[in-house]
Structure 1
Amino acid sequence: MDLKLKDKVILVSGGAKGIGEAIVKVLAAEGAIPVIIGRNEADNLKVLAEIESAGAQAFQIRAELTRPEECEKVIRLTLEKFGRIDSLVNNAGVNDSVGLENGSYEGFVASLHKNVIHYYLLAHHALPSLKKSKGAAIVNISSKTAETGQGGTSAYAAANGARNALTREWAVELLPHSIRVNSVIVAECWTPLYESWIKTLSNPEEKLKDIVSKIPLENRMTTAKEIADTVAFLLSERSSHTTGQLIHVDGGYVHLDRAIG
């Protein structure tokens, strides 16, 4: 299926690692021009080189998205380079375990800056260009924590609740401009960050086996590529009448009965 993304300039925050890297590579393979946004330029350049060596196009911008002025910089540099922005993928963030008991005002607010404020700012600054682009779309990557809770991660759960709410709010606000806005909800997805987390536990192999046993479809983790494929579809005109949706790519983890299997 041709997703008709060729030459579309698409911003991807957190595009050098994990799910973001997978999204960038899928978009490049579809002929789009992903703009890799990440705080570590070496990581950005590594992914950029891999894409270019495969004969595709991309661009990279080093930015610390917790700083509001850096969000504006991303948009400015992209427009200086390409003169347009066709779509946006908000993906950057981290489950930083700022809980209710163990957290603080400073930690909670800092986590919101890491996980949702830049979602708003990138969309806000990109909007004038998105409105000029035919078939523009926004995809927000979100997490099950907003729906299931997790414990010990109040700030991250709050940020994901906000991501989901903004998805529907923006879908309504942008109807007059035919800009579609959807969210992909991630549950248990294998990434370098997830692997690092599991290794911090006293019984990583046992814990991973327990987690995987609770994923209904095939008792396996979701892959970053599976998330990326769904994102590419939602950005494409093949999903031209889909907006305001929270789409779970999770092997049934959130909604199917735990008694299965």
Structure 2
Amino acid sequence: MRLKDKVAIITGGAKGIGEETSLLFAKEGAKVVIVDYDEEAGKSVVKKLEELGTEVLFFEADVTDRESIQQITVKTKEKFGRIDILINNAGITADAFLTKMSEEQWDRVIAVNLKGVYNCTQAVAPVMLEQGSGVILNASSVVGIYGNIGQTNYAATKAGVIGMTKSWAKELGPKGIRVNAVAPGFIVTDMTAKVPEKVLEFMRSKTPLGRLGQPRDVAAAYLFLASDEASFINGQVLGVDGGLVI
């Protein structure tokens, strides 16, 4: 019960890594607030969490909608009295080579993956500052570290997330708020389901551990960084990639 009575907001918390994180945090004693644009998936996860005896809220929302995120923050504070953890997990892809990438593809990925993280953190940070404590965890990617063909927009957002993480760690650390990022490699989710099998096989061959990651691998990293066991870790990027970047 490493998160007993902690209140955690998890964006993109209804599917894939987000769902696994929601379930793991619940099992570790957290009160879970799920933010996701997929209402059906959200209701499904809520049912699973309620069966675990977890106090849970679900909000159907897009992280690019600043007003909705502000309202979610207010409602969470009203319900639970505090916000201890923010997991900026929501993210999308819209892949294309640079010369073929549309402005719409660029703008949408930037809006969700970069501005969405900014929106959520800017909304929640004042609550944590008032408390004098909190943990903010951002989803980056190995792609944000070494780039990737056909992912100019995605790589830019994930590199940007690292920059924001380090900036916020400096700004908020003195106030008792830790900010870190997790950089997953290739994880078996709906997102990687769109990747051709030959590409996934190539990534397996390049990964020293010889496999793709599972959502629980990333959820476990979030759990560690959110817990008091990581109380002296701030401004870091934890790779969860099986050694791919080396």
Q: TM-score, normalised by structure 2?
A: 0.94
In the alignment, what sits opposite 1:112? 110
Matched, 1:220 2:218: no
> Distance in 2 between the 1:141 and 1:127 partners?
17
Where do 1:86-235 residues align within 5 Å?
86-133=84-131, 135-195=133-193, 197-198=194-195, 201=196, 204=197, 206-217=198-209, 219-235=210-226
> Distance in 1 between the 2:39 and 2:81 partners?
22
- Would you say the 8 A contact 2:11–2:36 is kept in 1? yes
- Report the alpha carbon displacement of residue 76 of structure 1 after superposing the two structures with TM: 2.1
Amino acid at match of 1:150: N
- Would you say the 8 A contact 2:133–2:175 is kept in 1? no
In the alignment, what sits opposite 1:258? none
> Distance in 2 between the 1:117 and 1:145 partners?
18
SS of equivalent residue, structure 2 residue 145? helix
Amino acid at match of 1:237: D
Give the gaps of 5 or more residues in structure 1. Answer: 256-261
- Would you say the 8 A contact 1:71–1:118 is kept in 2? no
Matched, 1:254 2:245: yes
> Distance in 1 between the 2:72 and 2:174 partners?
26
- Would you say the 8 A contact 1:63–1:71 is kept in 2? yes
- Would you say the 8 A contact 2:32–2:54 is kept in 1? no
> Distance in 1 between the 2:173 and 2:200 partners?
42
- Would you say the 8 A contact 2:94–2:105 is kept in 1? no
The runs of at least 4 consecutive aligned structure 1 residues that moved more than 4 Å come to none
SS of equivalent residue, structure 2 residue 139? strand
| Identity of matched residues, % | 34
Match among 204, 226, 244 for residue 235 of structure 2: 244
> Distance in 1 between the 2:242 and 2:225 partners?
18
Give the gaps of 5 or more residues in structure 2. Answer: none
- Would you say the 8 A contact 2:4–2:30 is kept in 1? yes
SS of equivalent residue, structure 1 residue 252? coil
In the alignment, what sits opposite 2:64? 66
- Would you say the 8 A contact 1:98–1:111 is kept in 2? no
* RMSD over aligned Cα atoms: 1.5
SS of equivalent residue, structure 1 residue 101? helix
> Distance in 2 between the 1:53 and 1:43 partners?
16
How big is each residue's C-alpha offset from its partner over 1:127-181, in whole Å with a ceiling of 9 and x where there is no partner?
1111233541100011111122111221111111110000100000012211000
In the alignment, what sits opposite 1:47? 45
How big is each residue's C-alpha offset from its partner over 1:25-81, in whole Å with a ceiling of 9 and x where there is no partner?
110000001111001221111001011112333221110222222222221221232
SS of equivalent residue, structure 1 residue 11? strand
- Would you say the 8 A contact 1:31–1:57 is kept in 2? no
SS of equivalent residue, structure 2 residue 98? coil
Paired residue total: 246
- Would you say the 8 A contact 1:44–1:60 is kept in 2? yes
SS of equivalent residue, structure 2 residue 238? strand
- Would you say the 8 A contact 2:26–2:52 is kept in 1? no
- Report the alpha carbon displacement of residue 121 of structure 1 after superposing the two structures with TM: 1.1
